[in-house]
Amino acid sequence: MVAMPHRSLSINGSTYVVEVGDDVPLLWVLRDLLLLRGTKYGCGIGQCGVCTVMVGGQALRSCLLPVGEVREAVTTIEGLAADHPVKRAWISEQVPQCGYCQSGQIMQAAALLQQTSKPTESEIRSAMRGVLCRCGTYNRIVRAIQVASGQVS
């Protein structure tokens, strides 16, 4: 058997050394090797977005991202500050229902606000279109992002 390369990853401000092949998607490194299970598996083909994490400030689908291509620091739901404005707004607006997609929604929203501090409703909706929610919490998501960006209270 081929020996797996040792790889160093910066995740949520910590450095992890994992023994894993280049082609393994970041999602499974997070969930299975590092036990960071806030990031979810949904479709495996980048269509549902529930696996969204931030890599170097960009929201990316971790199910499609081979760990060998991860060059920048990764932030997952566990690494986003517990009192981050997006998380606070998600609580105040009572966004989640089943909650399964919400890590992906929150990471997508945090990335959006990092790039656009006061997005319009249409900017919010188009930025969030990549993350599916079967419970239908979309309108609360939009409102929570408006709250988090100080546009409504």
> Near another protein by CB under 8 A, which window of 54-62, 76-84, 112-120?
76-84
Closer of 70 and 106 to another protein (Cβ): 106
> 103, 18, 91: which is closest to 59 by C-alpha?
103
Contact mark string toward another protein, 28..47, x via CB under 8 A: x--xxx-x-xxxxxxxxx-x
HSE at residue 81, side-chain half, CA atoms within 13 A, is 6
Q: Which stretch binds another protein (CB under 8 A): 54-62, 95-103, 111-119?
A: 95-103
Neighbouring residues of 2: CB distance < 8 A, sequence distance ≥ 6: none
What amino acid occupies position 45? I
For another protein (CB under 8 A), the number of binding residues is 58
Q: Taking CB under 8 A as the rule, does residue 16 contact another protein?
A: no
Q: Is there a contact between 86 and 96 (Cβ–Cβ < 8 Å)?
A: no
Of these, 9, 65, 128, 147, which contacts another protein (CB under 8 A)? 128
C-alpha distances in Å from residue 144, one per residue of 55, 102, 107, 149: 23, 12, 13, 8
Q: Which helix or strand (DSSP H or E) is residue 24 part of?
A: none
Q: Rule CB under 8 A: which residues touch another protein?
A: 1, 21, 24-25, 28, 31-33, 35, 37-45, 47-48, 50, 76-78, 82, 87, 90-91, 94-103, 106, 122, 124-126, 128-142
